[in-house]
Structure 1
Amino acid sequence: MTFDRKIKIAPSILSADFANFGQEIRAIEDQGCDWVHVDVMDGHFVPNLTFGPPLLAAIRPHIQTVMDVHLMISPVDAYIDAYAGAGADILTAHLEAGPHIHRTLQAIRAAGCKAGLALNPGTGLDAVPHLLDMIDLVCVMTVNPGFGGQKFIHSQIEKVRSLRAMIGERPIHIEIDGGMTPETAPLMAEAGADVFVAGSGVFKGGSVQNPDVYGENIRAIRSAAEAAQG
């Protein structure tokens, strides 16, 4: 993965057709997505249960871009090697998921993945300066994690603006996860974000039989964000 701050769209397969993951992934990549976002939930840290390492290993051969894996689980450390071994390019862990986030980030990098740090809407930035040398990405949640299709929380805009100033010229992506549409993505792009996770925002209205809709949705979010990024 070569670092740049160009706008990237990362559709969340949580909104895809679970019976057709391979075809869905090929469809969104053919339609121009940059990364494929995989939401891992444990029914404990968040109130939903999704994908284990075997599922990731099964879909990995279908992903030609970047497998961006968001671990909404607690504890995290015991599962890092399994998810890395399943093919993750990026593993993102939550600051709130355990007492030793620095150790978690070390373990992610030791497993050969890029390390991401996720922050819930109610979490501030106080710990982030102490972790900047350990991370490749900060994922700012603009909904409370656990379910797709939630409404964007506007208070996170200023958090992203502060985070962008904190990061400076470091090669760290700012990823936004939650409620991303052509209306909300530019608010975050202007504040300094460059990676946009969209579930229903990409998959709504389309299917593997009608993938052009995915492309329309991806292009709409990208063009709105790029216009705001300047």
Structure 2
Amino acid sequence: MDTRAPTLVASVLPADFSELGQEVRRLEKAGVDRIQWDVMDGRFVPNITFGPDVISANRELVSMGFEAHLMVDDPDPMLPRWVEAGCEIVIVHAEACRHLHRTLSAIADLGAKAGVALNPATPLDAVTNVLDLVDLLLVMTVNPGFGGQQYIAAMEPKIAAARAEIDQRGLDIELEVDGGIAGSTIGAAARAGADVFCAGSALFNGADTIEQRTAALRSAADAGIEAR
């Protein structure tokens, strides 16, 4: 079983958008490994968020990695824009792609790592035939579209099944979880098999400092991975 060290990803949805550059710098200083840009189009999900120009404006401010989580219908025409904006990883939703194999290949052709996300109701079988093209598999632990939602613990068997599939096939794929990730949930997601953890509200909100919150999440993820 893969027991790589946990990667902590920050969703900037809860950030102060009027100080976005400062918020991104603050996350890097706190020890976050990379930023997730939750890109929403108002169609695939009801919210609307960042465009590539916003991401590009923040790219030179920090050295940590960027991933674009495209919660959009028909992402194919826009793929180059997110790579040009500085996203090393581009994640598309299996539910939004008519020809998923072609979309993942296009991301790789652009020089980025290809990720695929699954909504809670979407079975793992939806992506097993394209895992050879995938660098990152994202199991959503909430329904996408808004921050601050409650973690869906019923997704843990799907996380475990994804981990087993990756390990049995000897694939080098990061297994990410996103949605309701906090000190009270990150350990269970790690025990189920995740090694990448996207947190938003749990990083931005709390009585202690963002550095302390980051360290606490990483420690809980470490403990969960060790307990597998």
TM-score under structure 1 length normalisation: 0.94
Contact 1:42 / 1:50 at 8 angstroms: preserved in 2?
yes
Cross-structure match for 1:65: 64
Structure 1 consecutive aligned stretches of length 4 or more whose deviation exceeds 4 Å: none
- In structure 1, the gaps of 5 or more residues are 207-211
- Report the alpha carbon displacement of residue 112 of structure 1 after superposing the two structures with TM: 1.0
Equivalent runs, 1:28-67 vs 2, <5 Å: 28-67=27-66
Look up the match of 2:94: 95
Q: Which residue of 1 aligns with 2:174?
A: 173
The one-letter code sitting in structure 1 at the alignment partner of 2:173 is I
**Residue type of the alignment partner of 1:226:** D
Task: Kindly indicate whether the alpha-carbon contact (under 8 Å) linking 1:36 and 1:63 is maintained by their aligned counterparts in 2.
Answer: no
What do residues 115-153 of structure 1 show as CA deviations (whole Å, max 9, x unaligned)?
000000000011322111100000111000000000001
- Aligned positions of 1:1-230 closer than 5 A: 5-168=4-167, 169-205=170-206, 213-230=209-226
Q: Give 1:186 deviation, angstroms.
A: 0.5
Deviation at 1:70, TM superposition (A): 0.3
AA aligned to 2:211 is G
Which consecutive residues of structure 2, in runs of 5 or more, have no partner in the other structure?
none
- Counting aligned pairs with the same residue, the percent is 46
Q: Distance in 2 between matches of 1:188 and 1:205?
A: 21
What's the CA shift for 1:216? 1.1
Once the 2 structures are TM-superposed, how far is the Cα of residue 213 of structure 1 from its aligned partner? 1.2
Q: CA deviation at 1:62?
A: 1.5
RMSD (Å) for aligned C-alpha atoms: 1.4
Distance in 1, matches of 2:166 and 2:131, equals 7
Deviation at residue 220 of structure 1 after TM alignment: 1.1
Equivalent pair of 1:5/1:173 in contact (CA under 8 Å):
no
The whole-number CA distance in structure 1 between the counterparts of 2:196 and 2:105 is 23
Query: Aligned partner of 1:194: which letter?
Result: D
Q: Deviations over 1:8-62 (max 9, x none)?
A: 1111111111011111111111111011111000000001000111111111111
1-side partners of 2:51 and 2:166: how far apart?
A: 32
Match of 1:209 in 2: none
Give how far 1:63 is off: 2.7
Q: Alignment partner of 2:9: what SS?
A: strand
Cα deviations by residue, 1:81-122 (Å, 9 ceiling, x for unpaired): 111111111000000002111111011111111000000000
Structure 1 residue 205: Cα displacement = 3.5
Which amino acid in the other structure matches residue 180 of structure 2?
Answer: G
Q: Separation in 1 of the partners of 2:137 and 2:36?
A: 14
Amino acid at match of 1:5: R
Residues matched between the structures, number:
223
Shift of 1:219: 1.0
Instruction: Name the amino acid aligned to 2:193.
Output: G
**Residue identity opposite 1:213 in structure 2:** T
